[in-house]
Amino acid sequence: MTQNTDRRKFLVATAAVTLLPALPSFAQSDEQAVVEMLTKHPTDSKLRNVFFPRITSVQAGQTVLFKATDRSHNSASIDGMIPDAAEEWDGRINEDVEVTFDVPGVYGYKCTPHAATGMVALIVVEGEGKLDNLEAAQGVRQRGRAKKVFEEIWEEAAELGLLEATST
């Protein structure tokens, strides 16, 4: 019985350790969110050139650190995929970059040299009017594998409730 309980605890702990890194990031308002720029996905060895996590939810006014964990990557906003009032950003390759998101909305971003191979991701900034630019962002034409990845991202974000006006 003790052995079974121990085994169950072990399995639960293992599952938690395995699954938690795969979940989108939901940063609390008092902490900085971190997105890693990776050449190899940490849990799926078949995925290369990724932002991790690829969906991040923050509160308006929060900062996201794009961490250059692996080489040859950067983070840059995608034209047409950020709110009108928001500022674009374009990080340098191989360098960390911090971006503060003051305007609620959805923000599509990319790694400049790897965008067409699917290295794109999404930040949802919670707050009043966060869905105002959703349609415009979803309408931006993507190149190459970014089409497929963004389809997955939009679907995943919707499943997580991030694309509902009431989500917080």
Partner 1 sequence: MFGVVAARADSLTIILDRSTNSSELYVAGPAETLLALFDVDRAVIPMQDGVVDYSAFALGTWGIGDALLQNTRVTFDNAPSGFEAMSFMLHPSEDALPLQTPFDANMAIGICSALSSPERYALEEMTGYVGYFSDQTSSASTIEVVLPSVSRTSLNISVVDYMQGGALTFVRRFEPGEPIRFVIPPPGNSFRLNIPLVLLALVSVFAAAWKINHRSFVEHCLRQLFAKHHGRKAQPTSCSE
Q: Which residues bind partner 1 (CB under 8 A)?
A: 39, 46, 48-49, 71-72, 93-94, 112-118, 143-145, 147-148
For the beta carbon of residue 150, count every other beta carbon within 10 angstroms: 22
Alpha helices in 32-145 (DSSP H): 134-138
Nearer to partner 1, 97 or 103 (CB): 97
Nearer to partner 1, 110 or 130 (CB): 110
Nearer to partner 1, 49 or 62 (CB): 49
Closest approach, Cβ 49 to partner 1, in A, equals 6
Beta strands in the chain (DSSP E): 25-26, 33-40, 48-52, 55-59, 62-67, 76-77, 97-101, 105-110, 120-126
Closest approach, Cβ 117 to partner 1, in A, equals 5
Closest approach, Cβ 114 to partner 1, in A, equals 6
Cα of first residue to Cα of last residue in the chain, in angstroms, is: 42
